[in-house]
């Protein structure tokens, strides 16, 4: 197979410093690099513009890399609206001390989607969805056992 490596998952943000603070300071991602590109880029081409600047921070946690991507657009340019929200559903994070962790994230700017709170007595789990400052959903899961093991039966 010619695909060599899953490099990162990109999250477009409205305010790069705010998003960096959320993912780094609240969720524990470590900043590993920054990238800036002025001029032609895939995003600029999709918008039909040459003057789109891309500003990005790459972060890593537990072997997963994300890119926080900010597009510095000309005043008259607009991003197209998403189509029916297909695609990325959420990012899943295993946590401990459910109530304390959820409260800390809420104080730090996360929007807690209280209606999503779910307890599964058979699994001993507590789950709730939060949203980052730009509305990206993050599922917080507290459950006994090794947090590196995927849910379900081995394939």
CATH of domain 9-72: 3.10.180.10
Written as tens digits, the pLDDT of the chain (155 aa) is 566 677 899 898 989 999 999 999 999 999 999 988 776 666 666 677 677 788 889 999 999 999 998 887 767 666 655 544 557 778 989 999 999 999 999 999 999 999 999 888 888 889 999 999 999 999 899 989 888 777 777 67
Close Cβ partners of 91 (under 8 Å, ≥ 6 residues apart): 9, 136, 137, 138, 139
Q: Considering the entire predicted model, what is its pTM? A: 0.79
Give the SS3 label for residue 72.
strand
User: Are 98 and 140 a contacting pair, CB within 8 Å?
Assistant: yes
Query: Buried (b) or exposed (e) across 41-58, using 16+ Cβ within 10 A?
Result: bebbeebebeebbbbbbb
Q: How far apart are CA 17 and CA 22, in angstroms?
A: 9
Domain made up of 91-142: CATH architecture? 2-Layer Sandwich (3.30)
Tell how far CA 107 is from the center of its chain. 18
Give whole-number Cα distances, 5 to 1, 64, 65, 133, in Å: 11, 12, 12, 29
Ordered by start, the domain boundaries in the chain are 9-72, 91-142
User: Are 132 and 19 a contacting pair, CB within 8 Å?
Assistant: yes
The pLDDT of residue 1 is 57
Element housing 92 (H / E): strand 91-94
């Amino acid at each position: 197979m010619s695909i060599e490596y899953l490099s990162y998952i990109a999250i477009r943000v409205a305010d790069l410093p705010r998003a960096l603070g959320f993912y780094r300071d609240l969720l524990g991602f470590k900043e590993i690099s920054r990238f800036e590109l002025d001029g032609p880029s895939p995003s600029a081409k999709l918008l039909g513009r040459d003057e789109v600047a891309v500003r990005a921070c790459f972060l890593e946690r537990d072997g997963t890399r994300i890119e926080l991507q900010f597009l510095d657009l000309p005043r008259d340019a607009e991003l197209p609206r998403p189509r029916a929200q297909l695609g990325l559903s959420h990012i899943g994070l295993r946590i401990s001390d459910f109530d304390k962790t959820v409260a800390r994230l809420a104080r730090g700017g996360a929007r807690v989607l209280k209606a999503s709170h779910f307890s599964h007595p058979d699994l001993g789990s507590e789950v709730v969805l939060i949203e980052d400052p730009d509305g990206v959903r993050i599922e917080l899961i507290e459950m006994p056992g090794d947090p590196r093991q995927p849910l379900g039966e081995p394939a």
